[in-house]
Structure formats: C-alpha cells, structure tokens
C-alpha cells in the first residue's frame, strides 16, 4: 500500500474502533473467491442482457435458456468459499465493531465466513422458490433434479457473471429440460431479485434501520451504480453519518463519502480486523 492509502486505512481503523459500523457489501468483496464482479477490474464483459422477472415468467424459451446457463454457473458459485475479506468482516462483527451487514451479493459467503444476521438485499442463489406455492428448497436439490433430467447436458460456459448466470452458446441449449416444483408443479426460480423486481420492503426497512443506528457506513466492493445499494449511502450522508468506501476503481458514492480507499479488499480488511482486535484487547 502506498503512503496515502496507509494513512487512509489508519483513519478508517480509528472509525471502525469507534464501533457501530454497518457494512454494505457488493460483488467486489467476492472476487477473491473466484466470483467476478459486475463492473470492477475483474468484471466479466456480459454480452447477454440480464434476466428480467417479466421475461423469466412469460417466456418459456428464455426461462429454459436461463436455467441451462444458471445450472452451469452454480457449479462455480456453489463451490466458492469465503476469502480473507469475508472472514475479516465476520471477525469485526464478532469483536463488536460491526453492528450490521447489508449485502447486495447473492453468494452467501458472508454467512459461510461466520457472519450473523446478514440482510441479503437481493436474496441467495442457494435457495429455490416456487412462484406458485412459495415452497423453498435447497439449490443442491434443484441441481440434482436438473442433472437427472438432462443426463447428456455438457454445456461449456465461456464466462460467468456475479449473479451466477453464464455465457453459453444457444446451440448448446438444445433439449435442455426445465423441472417444476416437486410439491405443486409450479414454476421454480432462484430466490433472488431479478431486474424488474423490487427488493422486498422488509429488507429495505431493516437496512434503513441499521443505517440509522450507525456511526459509520462502510461500503465494501460496490460501484454503487444501482439505487438498491446507493440509497443507503444517500441516507447516511443526509443524516450526517460517516461514509467510508473501500473499492477498486470509481464508485458513484464518492460525492457522498467522507473517506474513499482505492485498494484491494483482501489486503485492507484483514489489516483492519487485526488492528481493531489489537486495540480492543
């Protein structure tokens, strides 16, 4: 880290040591786990348009295409493991410095690292929901059913996106079979928020409640391009709550931030966790 970053990280360490930190995390936190982000340095160039809720529910061909691509993508997302950044956030929570975690990610890696009571704004790819009866099932069970229904499917993904969707040649989709809800025969969907859907109001309300009680809002690995995450930065700035951002590259939250650290999260966060642990001991 250069001298400026060292000074910024030291200041951020003081803020975190004050306690009452709320973390808002984005895809950049999971890149060290092998999951590319959307727009940062490791982001894959998405050639296809992200799936919308309206298209998924109304177009059987698009739904079949999505499930084939997502089935391949799950092999990467499902095998991903927490990295040093996730573990550092969990450590800061365990130490009492972090009072809440809001994530835009759908990979479940915060919880896998030991974090508790994480608000998953956009849901979790590890769950499957029936849009008819509301039944929730584990993604592993869905993957097994899709494998059974498609014994000859051997598609090869050319790129994977942070939402678990992959790039796949349409020619490889021939004959792919989608399965329905085992309980009622209804339409199944990953329990995540698609484009065209709104984040459930209770998650938004809970997140705003966490921000309202914070001394510092710490944004990790998010470009804050979409309003679902940026609105919490806007609220914090409006209410006079300190906003700190650690991210590689430019973010749309910079005009509202009191401190911006452009450095690798896998280096900065373990250092902060170690510093806070030393101060509290």
Which sequence spans correspond to the domains of the chain?
A: 1-35+83-122+198-281, 44-79+123-192
Nearest to 223, CA basis, from 254, 244, 268: 254
What is the pLDDT at residue 44?
Answer: 46
Does residue 122 have an active-site annotation?
Answer: yes
What proportion of the chain, given as a percentage, has pLDDT over 70?
88
What is the pLDDT at residue 75?
Answer: 81
pLDDT over 80 at 270, yes or no: yes
Characterize 177-216 residue by residue with b for buried, 16 or more Cβ atoms within 10 angstroms of its Cβ, and e for exposed: ebeebeeeebbbbbbbbbeeeebeeebbebbeebbeebeb
Provide the pLDDT confidence category of residue 50 given band limits of 50, 70 and 90. confident
Instruction: Determine the topology of domain 44-79+123-192 in CATH.
Output: SIR2/SIRT2 'Small Domain' (3.30.1600)
What is the pLDDT at residue 23?
Answer: 98
Q: In the numeric block, which tokens belong to residue 273?
A: 């966790």
pLDDT tens sequence across 156-187: 555 666 666 666 666 677 778 999 999 999 99
Instruction: Determine the topology of domain 1-35+83-122+198-281 in CATH.
Output: Rossmann fold (3.40.50)
What is the pLDDT at residue 175?
Answer: 79
- Return d(Cα 114, Cα 171) in angstroms, integer: 41
184 is in an annotated binding site: yes
133 is in an annotated binding site: yes
Provide the pLDDT confidence category of residue 19 given band limits of 50, 70 and 90. very high
- Return d(Cα 88, Cα 220) in angstroms, integer: 12
Of 86, 110, 122, 271, the catalytic one is 122
**Distance between the two ends of the chain, CA-based, in angstroms?**
26
pLDDT over 50 at 43, yes or no: no
Residue written as token pair 């085992």: 182
């Amino acid at each position: 880290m250069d001298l400026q970053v060292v000074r910024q990280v030291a200041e951020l360490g003081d803020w975190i040591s004050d306690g009452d930190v709320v973390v808002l995390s984005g895809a950049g936190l999971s890149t060290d786990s092998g999951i590319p982000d959307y727009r940062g340095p490791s982001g894959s160039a998405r050639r296809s348009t992200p799936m919308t809720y309206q298209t998924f529910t109304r177009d059987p061909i698009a739904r079949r295409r999505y499930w084939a691509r997502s089935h391949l993508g799950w092999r990467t997302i499902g095998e991903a493991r927490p990295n040093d950044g996730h573990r550092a956030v969990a450590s800061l929570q365990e130490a009492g410095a972090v009072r809440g975690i809001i994530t835009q990610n759908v990979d479940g890696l915060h919880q896998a690292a030991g974090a508790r009571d994480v608000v998953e704004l956009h849901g979790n790819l590890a769950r499957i929901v029936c849009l008819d009866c509301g039944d929730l099932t584990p993604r592993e069970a869905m993957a097994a059913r899709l494998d059974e229904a498609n014994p000859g499917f051997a598609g090869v993904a050319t790129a994977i996106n942070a939402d678990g969707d992959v790039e796949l040649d349409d020619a490889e989709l021939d004959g792919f079979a989608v399965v329905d809800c085992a309980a009622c025969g209804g339409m199944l969907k990953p329990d995540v928020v698609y484009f065209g859907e709104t984040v459930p109001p209770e998650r938004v309300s809970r997140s705003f409640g966490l921000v309202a009680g914070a001394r510092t809002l710490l944004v990790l690995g998010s470009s804050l391009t979409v309003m679902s995450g940026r609105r919490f930065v806007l609220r914090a700035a409006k209410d006079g709550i300190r906003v700190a951002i650690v991210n590689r590259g430019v973010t749309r939250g910079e005009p509202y931030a009191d401190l911006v650290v452009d450095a690798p999260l896998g280096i900065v966060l373990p250092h902060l966790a170690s510093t806070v642990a030393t101060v509290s001991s």
